[in-house]
């Protein structure tokens, strides 16, 4: 099935099958996860809050698209529906349309034409042309919205435990954790991924120094500090910004693969490329396992404009495809 087309499968929607084009959802620019820990930018007022909520909704909708079609993650349509519903609850029109389509066709959720009509009406109200076309067949009854629009999904909440995590930390580390989680969205990094790295590297200790001369919260070795213009490695904010820049670069280089990005942060991107995956170092393998366990998933949004992807990824895909073909 073409991922950009949705084939209507109920009642009189068949004539629209070739006409309704599934639009790609935009990449998230930032993430609203940091709202729970107090992003400094929120002081700018309601406009900033609305912007971050919209960006978070866009990120959730993009994640849902991946789970709906099995793109980069295992296909899980029920979970995709939960993600779409949370994004719709936050006001994302494309998520409203996508969830309406799932209800209309019984994909990942039990078919419910009334729910579909409500969601199409909500999306059309925000100017979604595809949803407006669907209303010709479903009607515009907005009185039967899914219950998930009233309250956040518990499964979504479990994926963003930033506030609870910080609350469990020792008091002297909470300020550093809040700084790290608050700065992470500025670099397109999920706060809970950034926290996982900071906790694993230094237990969020700004004065940490390893036997290999790795320094500060994000344990930057001198070469990495120089590479990302960190001149005061024991200054918490400057150190964290340097580490987040490196994480942003690694995520783009390995196209959002958290395991490879974490392995490269620990052992260097050169080692990951030599071994075409997580290096067989006991320390690195344990490091990656801990990061993945903490984050709870293995994919991360990334900014493809930061750096061209590693050529090693293409070789891995070709090898995987050849193995699959044989």
Catalytic residue numbers?
Answer: 201
- CB neighbours of 68 closer than 8 A, spacing ≥ 6? 75, 77, 80, 84, 98, 102, 107, 108
Q: Are 165 and 195 in contact (CB under 8 A)?
A: yes
Which SS3 state, helix, strand or coil, does residue 276 take? coil
3-state secondary structure 81-94: HHHHHHHHHCCCHH
Which candidate, 196, 308, 310, places its Cα nearest to that of 262? Answer: 196
Helices (H), the chain: 46-69, 77-89, 93-105, 113-125, 129-138, 154-159, 162-167, 171-183, 191-202, 222-227, 236-253, 258-267, 269-275, 282-295, 311-325
Q: Are 252 and 304 in contact (CB under 8 A)?
A: yes
For CA atoms 291, 292, 293, 294, the dihedral sign is positive
**Integer-rounded Cα radius of gyration of the chain:** 22
Q: Tokens representing 80?
A: 């995709």
64: phi then psi, degrees, rounded to nearest 5: -60, -40
Q: How far apart are CA 175 and CA 282, in angstroms?
A: 32
């Amino acid at each position: 099935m073409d991922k950009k087309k949705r084939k209507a499968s109920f009642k009189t929607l068949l004539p629209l099958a070739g006409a309704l084009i599934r639009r790609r959802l935009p990449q998230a620019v930032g993430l609203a996860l940091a709202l729970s820990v107090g992003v400094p930018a929120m002081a700018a007022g309601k406009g900033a809050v609305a912007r971050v909520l919209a960006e978070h909704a866009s990120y959730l909708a993009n994640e849902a698209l991946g789970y709906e079609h099995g793109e980069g993650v295992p296909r899980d349509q029920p979970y995709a529906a939960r993600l779409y519903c949370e994004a719709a609850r936050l006001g994302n029109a494309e998520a409203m349309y996508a969830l309406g389509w799932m209800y209309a066709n019984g994909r990942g959720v039990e078919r419910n034409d009334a729910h579909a009509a409500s969601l199409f009406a909500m999306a059309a109200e925000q100017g979604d042309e595809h949803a407006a076309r669907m209303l010709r067949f479903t009607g515009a009854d907005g009185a039967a919205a899914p219950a998930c629009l009233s309250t956040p999904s518990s499964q979504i909440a479990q994926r963003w435990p930033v506030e609870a995590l910080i609350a469990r930390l020792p008091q002297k580390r909470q300020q550093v954790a809040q700084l790290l989680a608050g700065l992470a969205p500025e670099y397109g990094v999920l706060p809970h991924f950034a926290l996982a790295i900071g906790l694993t590297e230094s237990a969020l200790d700004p004065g940490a120094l390893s036997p290999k001369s790795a320094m500060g919260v994000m344990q930057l070795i001198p070469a990495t500090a120089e590479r990302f213009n960190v001149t005061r490695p024991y200054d918490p904010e400057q150190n964290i910004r340097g580490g987040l820049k490196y994480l942003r670069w690694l995520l783009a280089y390995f196209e959002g693969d958290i395991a490879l990005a974490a392995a490269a942060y620990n052992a260097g991107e050169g080692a990951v490329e030599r071994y075409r995956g997580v290096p067989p170092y006991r320390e690195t393998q344990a490091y990656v396992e801990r990061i993945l366990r903490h984050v709870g998933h293995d994919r991360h949004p990334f900014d493809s404009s930061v750096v061209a992807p590693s050529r090693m990824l293409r070789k891995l895909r070709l090898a995987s495809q050849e193995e699959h073909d044989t």
